[in-house]
Amino acid sequence: MNNADIKSILESAASVAVIGVSSNPERASHQVAAYLIEQTHFDVYLINPTVTQEILGQPVYKSLADLPIVPDIIDVFRKAEDMPAVFESEFPAIADSSAGKTWWMQLGIENDDVAKLASDAGMKVVMDRCIKVDYLNLVPEGK
């Protein structure tokens, strides 16, 4: 996926779910979630089944099924080898309205099998890219 495609996804999306967000401020998932909440136009939903307290002043949901909406971008912070299990457990909650949504695998994460499943379901797929870096570089200020 090229920069123009990524820019289009980021500018047209209104909401992002961050799967695998950490309560540890040293973790990339925490830092990216903080950026998305504080510096972008997105409504941000945080997902981690093992966290019981708020992170960054936001509620933390157990799964996509618990969200009040189907987010435009599902940004996943999980190892590549965990991606099939994450997709298998999370996708059913959004299957009926997945077309046009984006399954985003963070920088360093690629899984062609999951990419094919998401693509076959009508989703856009981004692999091995950081949503924070792409937003900083591609979306004009004040979007």
Q: Does residue 28 lie in a domain region?
A: yes
C-alpha 30/C-alpha 124 separation (Å) is 24
Query: How far lies 12's CA from each of 6, 7, 15, 102, 143, in Å?
Result: 10, 8, 9, 11, 10
Burial (0-12, 13-18, 19+ Cβ within 10 Å), 52: exposed
Q: Does residue 108 lie in a domain region?
A: yes
CB-CB neighbours of 77 under 10 Å: 24
CATH number for the domain harbouring residue 128? 3.40.50.720
Q: Does residue 98 lie in a domain region?
A: yes
pLDDT in tens, the chain (143 residues): 899 999 999 999 999 999 999 999 999 999 999 999 999 999 999 999 999 899 999 999 999 999 999 999 999 999 999 999 999 999 999 999 999 999 999 999 999 999 999 999 999 999 999 999 999 999 987 55
Please count the structural domains in the chain.
Answer: 1
Global pTM exceeds 0.85:
yes
Domain ranges, residue 114: 3-138
Q: Does residue 133 lie in a domain region?
A: yes
Structure tokens at 78: 């999980």
DSSP-derived pairing of the beta strands 15-19 and 43-47: parallel
Q: Does residue 143 lie in a domain region?
A: no
